[in-house]
Structure 1
């Protein structure tokens, strides 16, 4: 008897819910995403075809992906891509998986980059290039520079920039500002590591598979943020902004770091969940 799409999804949903401690809705969504990747159809297609038979080859390919997910591997790495700001970015285990909350960083940056006017933007720790490529595409008159200390991450970012046609983006291998030779910018953005090195979440869920260097940053998670804030003024034009993402409980500490470094108009912005996710300041001197 041929496998029926509905039955295949129902079985996979139950397995995912049990193995990964997911709610039924989330487990079914993951099962649908994996199956649609195999059969090369949008999720909307499933509604009218849930009684269709599934070919043995498709069922085997789906099961192979399902087993990887049951082992905890993130879907983004299994599929090799993740949507960010309505763009499809290629991702590998060499880079952090782009997350929806980081779109707030892009929103705030775009508010500070004049449309149609030249300016210079720096993205520190670009990873997949999600932030830098998005900014470059939305502000084609800007010169965007993106740095990462990982050559493997830069290769992923370069592929995304090329695929999406972000020609106004320059990629540099650098440990934060070290390779920038005194270059100055109108805006600096970053989604740096900000998790405390001893945080138990690093050993749970998707984080187990993501690059540790892109996640953890010292005993309180603020080591890299401190380094970014401390040296930002040397790379900002007067009137330039520094914006960076941070953890759910780090906003007050980040504002204090910005104020101590001489930034003005220091503030934090909340994401859709009401969590202060991005802090920023204006460099005037």
Structure 2
């Protein structure tokens, strides 16, 4: 097994997490958690492992191969048609937790929910109820299944929509991870070739969806609430300016790599 993992790691050298990828695929082939694999390497290599490595060598995301991805305190089912959750997006939950302190939001809105990533993580953190909106029927199917599997189906509702165009309600916490990649930007093959373009690209400058959100957020955020919005690491100034033009204040939060990753947004005039 050690030799097989070493060989797979070398073959997956294009990935910055090649060894982790190999271990996750091996654990998946064995039907066990990676932690169990690391504690006991004295196992025969399962026949299915080679085919899994072949798929990863073709730059298919590991999460699509295994069908699951850990995020915050939960595990989410994911697959083609749903954006793969990223650790950087946890910055939004950290920022929101700082805003509420020892309190908890009672209502949560997740715009562009995908497989339910941010909403279900928030509902695992707080005893709230939430609504997730997405344009993709495929992503929403994953979201509903994730809510059911996590025992949150009674607290999470998912609807298909175009951002908050049809909503007339305010929420204590609004979460959003919109597309923010410029159409001409370079992306790794595993992202551009496999993940849904509609969840990635937002016009030439990557700001198209922030322009929509800037107009909608003032009527969505409760007076004492906030919105946590993910941004590309070079976009803080541009997005904050769009929000300021709609009477919103923004505070930058950085991810664990020290890059701008989230704007915590509030109403400039509460009432």
Fold conserved between structures, TM > 0.5: yes
- 2:31 is equivalent to residue 40 of structure 1: yes
- From the two aligned structures, give the one with the greater helix fraction: 1
Q: 96-105 or 7-16, which moves further after superposition? A: 7-16
**C-alpha deviation, 1:51, in angstroms:** 5.0
RMSD of aligned Cα (Å) = 2.0
- 2:166 is equivalent to residue 175 of structure 1: no
Structure 1 consecutive aligned stretches of length 4 or more whose deviation exceeds 4 Å: 44-49, 113-118
Residue matched to 1:71: 58
Where does 1:129-168 land on structure 2 (aligned, <5 Å)? 129-140=116-127, 142-166=128-152, 167-168=154-155
Residue matched to 2:179: 193
Report if the CA contact (8 A) 2:111-2:163 is conserved.
yes
Report if the CA contact (8 A) 1:110-1:135 is conserved.
no
- How many correspondences in the alignment? 268
Specify whether residues 261 and 68 from structure 1 end up closer, same or farther in structure 2 by C-alpha distance, changes over 3 A only: same
Residue matched to 2:256: 272
Larger Rg: 1
Report if the CA contact (8 A) 1:145-1:171 is conserved.
yes
TM-score for both structures, normalised by structure 1:
0.87
What is the rounded CA distance, in whole Å, between the counterparts of 2:39 and 2:94 in structure 1? 37
What is the rounded CA distance, in whole Å, between the counterparts of 2:227 and 2:173 in structure 1? 6
What is the rounded CA distance, in whole Å, between the counterparts of 1:22 and 1:137 in structure 2? 31
Unpaired segments ≥5 residues, structure 1 = none
- 2:80 is equivalent to residue 93 of structure 1: yes
Deviations 1:261-284 (A, max 9, x none): 1113x2111111111100122113
- 2:17 is equivalent to residue 31 of structure 1: no
Deviations 1:184-213 (A, max 9, x none): 222211001000011121x63334210000
Where does 1:205-284 land on structure 2 (aligned, <5 Å)? 205-264=190-249, 266-283=250-267, 284=269
Q: Secondary structure at the match of 1:209?
A: coil
What is the rounded CA distance, in whole Å, between the counterparts of 2:54 and 2:157 in structure 1? 39
Specify whether residues 255 and 92 from structure 1 end up closer, same or farther in structure 2 by C-alpha distance, changes over 3 A only: same
Q: Secondary structure at the match of 1:165?
A: coil
Residue matched to 2:5: 9
- 2:189 is equivalent to residue 204 of structure 1: yes
